[in-house]
Amino acid sequence: MERLEQYRTAIAQVLHEHAQLSRRIRAEHPNDPDTPAEAIAICDPQTDNYLLITIGWQTHHRIHSILAHLRILDEHIYVEWSGIEDLIEDLIDQGIPKTAFRPVQTATMTQNLETVVPA
């Protein structure tokens, strides 16, 4: 159970840090059309789903997308989707062991995981 709480805390912290970075950039450049949409961390420890989403407007286009989705199953972390560079490394820096990650995506993400989590 300690391990599960460690994973939950680390994932939530990293996602909230990325959301906070988005808020800082938006605050520093409020009128810049290239400023990223608002990022929101959604952390549900009951279902062990953790998401970072973006919402807002850019020019006249609605933005609503998933930047990252992680799930904890059987004390492993499944990266369902990640559009965040270095997300896994950020989690490892928070003390999550490389062996905790299980790849679910193909192509680029699987290759990235294989470089971080050797078979």
pLDDT, tens digit (0-9, with 9 covering 90-100), for 46-88? 999 999 999 988 778 888 999 999 999 999 999 999 999 899 9
What's the structural domain count of the chain?
Answer: 1
pLDDT, tens digit, 9 for 90 and up, residues 80-117: 999 998 999 999 999 999 999 987 754 444 445 555 55
**63/2 Cα distance (integer angstroms):** 37
- Length in residues, the chain: 119
CA distances from 81 to 2, 3, 73, 101 (A): 25, 22, 15, 13
**87/94 Cα distance (integer angstroms):** 11
Of the pLDDT bands very low, low, confident and very high (cuts 50, 70, 90), residue 10 is very high
Return the CATH number at 112.
3.30.310
CA distances from 55 to 25, 30, 61, 107 (A): 15, 15, 11, 27
Q: What is the mean pLDDT of residues 19-46?
A: 88
pTM: 0.81
What is the amino acid identity at position 70? L
Q: Residue 27's domain spans which residues?
A: 2-116
> Does residue 11 contact residue 50 with C-beta atoms inside 8 Å?
yes
